[in-house]
Amino acid sequence: MTAAREAIYLPVLLLTVTLLGGLRPGAAVLLTPPSLFSLILAVLLVGVLVQSGAFVPLRVMNGSRPALANLNGGVLVAALLVASAQMFSLLTPDTGLPRVLFSVYFLVLMINTMAASPDRVRVLRSLAVTFGAAFVVKFIVLDALSDPAGGRLTRLLQVLFEGVTLGALTQDVQHPAAGYLAFLVIVMFLVAVALLLSALPSASRAIVVREADVPEA
């Protein structure tokens, strides 16, 4: 990883995810900080990234690096944690039954991924699918079901779902820009995660031979 990527590009990208992920466009623009539960999910996600080798904290923070480089590494880890929390906050519906279901879904998924211990590529793919699916459900399906200006079929489905879920399914109608913004944030986060310092490929690992192991001629 170049110094610029570690010290500038990645922290700035992750902080931008934090900023844009908290932005709720509407009549009054709101900035929402990540919820407490999303912080827990973020810790699990970073754990998954470390376990899979998608991110190796020891490569950005260790005793052999200068203090300034370690500071850059620390800032990167903190930015990754906050951006991850913001991602979960962004993709979790704001109220009702969907909020509970999404929270449980993310929690189980993170624990399951940790238990499966997949490699870097599989974790990145899994993350893209997880966030993509959550995006579709929150910003397309739930939004369509909550839109009071929808057609007859939508209104019929709304009545049906509200009856079944005792009104706990519908969400506040979002600004049309919210979905596009969320899509951009997801892409930025996935790019940032893909650019993180991963484990060294096996071919480039150093082979250390101790003198005692060398057979005498």
Partner 1 sequence: MNETVVRAAGLGITIVYAALIAWLFVRQPATFAEVTGGLTSAVGAYRIDQQAFDDGMRYFRSDQFSEARAAFERADPARRDALTQFYIGYAFYRQGWGRFYSDDRLYREGLEAVNRAIALAPEGRLVVEEPGQEIRTADELKAELERGLVVEPSDFNPARVIRPRR
Which residues of this chain interact with partner 1, rule CB under 8 A? 3-4, 6-8, 11-12, 15, 18-19, 22, 28-31, 33, 66, 68-69, 71-72, 75, 79
* Residue nearer to partner 1 on the CB measure, 79 or 178: 79
Minimum gap (Å) between residue 93 Cβ and partner 1: 21
Minimum gap (Å) between residue 193 Cβ and partner 1: 18
Q: State residue 116 phi and psi, 5-degree precision.
A: -75, -20
Which H helix or E strand runs over 176? helix 176-195
State the DSSP string of 11-22. HHHHHHHHHHHT
Minimum gap (Å) between residue 68 Cβ and partner 1: 5
* Residue nearer to partner 1 on the CB measure, 69 or 184: 69
Q: Please check whether residue 14 is in contact with residue 79, taking contact to mean a CB–CB distance below 8 angstroms.
A: yes
* Residue nearer to partner 1 on the CB measure, 73 or 96: 73
Categorise residue 167: left if φ over 0, alpha if ψ from -120 to 50, beta otherwise: left
Residue 113 is which amino acid? T
Minimum gap (Å) between residue 64 Cβ and partner 1: 15
